[in-house]
Amino acid sequence: MPQLATTPPLTTLSEEEELFRDTVRDFAVRAVKPRVAAMERAAAIDLAVLTQCFEIGLMGIETPEDHGGAGGNLLMTVLAVEELSAVDASVAIFVDVQNTLVNNLLLKWASTDVKRRYLPRLAIDLLGAYALSEPESGSDAFGLQTKATKRGDNWVLEGRKLWITNGAEAGLFIIFANADFSQGYKGITAFAVERGFKGFSVGKKEDKLGIRASSTCELILDGCEVPAANVVGEVGKGYKVAIETLNTGRIGIGAQMIGVARGALQAALKYVKERQQFGHPIGDFQAVQFQLAQAATELEAARLMVYNAARLEDAGEPYTMQAAMAKLFSSQVAERVTSLCVELFGGYGYTKEYPVEKFYRDAKIGTIYEGTSNMQLNTIAKQLLK
Q: Is residue 338's pLDDT more than 60?
A: yes
pLDDT digits (tens, 9 = 90+) for 13-34: 999 999 999 999 999 999 999 9
Report whether 82 contacts 22 (CB < 8 A): no
Q: Is residue 5's pLDDT more than 50?
A: no
pLDDT digits (tens, 9 = 90+) for 371-383: 999 999 999 999 9
At 153, the amino acid letter reads D
For 121, counting Cβ atoms within 10 Å of its Cβ (0-12 exposed, 13-18 middle, 19+ buried), the class is: middle
Predicted local confidence at residue 11, as pLDDT: 55
Candidate from 6-15, 73-82, 290-299 with smallest mean pLDDT: 6-15
| pTM of the predicted model as reported, rounded to 2 decimal places | 0.95
SS3 state of residue 5: coil
CA distances from 285 to 71, 337, 339, 344, 347 (A): 48, 18, 19, 12, 19
- Integer Cα distance of 342 and 352 in angstroms: 11
Q: Quote the DSSP letter at residue 125.
A: T
- Residues with catalytic roles: 370
At 338, the amino acid letter reads T
Tell me what the pLDDT averaged over the chain comes to.
Answer: 96
DSSP 272-334: HHH-EETTEEGGGSHHHHHHHHHHHHHHHHHHHHHHHHHHHHHTT---HHHHHHHHHHHHHHH
At 123, the amino acid letter reads A
Three-state secondary structure of 168-193: CCCCEEEEEEECCHHHHHHHEEEEEE
pLDDT digits (tens, 9 = 90+) for 32-55: 999 999 999 999 999 999 999 999
pLDDT digits (tens, 9 = 90+) for 179-219: 999 999 999 999 999 999 999 999 999 999 999 999 999 99
Across the range 77-94, mean pLDDT stands at 98
Q: Which domains does the chain have, with CATH numbers?
A: 15-127 (1.10.540.10), 129-236 (2.40.110.10), 239-384 (1.20.140.10)
Q: Is residue 6's pLDDT more than 50?
A: no
Q: What is the bridge-based pairing of β-strands 231-232 and 188-194? A: antiparallel
Beta bridge partners of 221: 159, 200
Is residue 238 very low, low, confident or very high in pLDDT (cuts 50, 70, 90)? very high
SS3 state of residue 221: strand
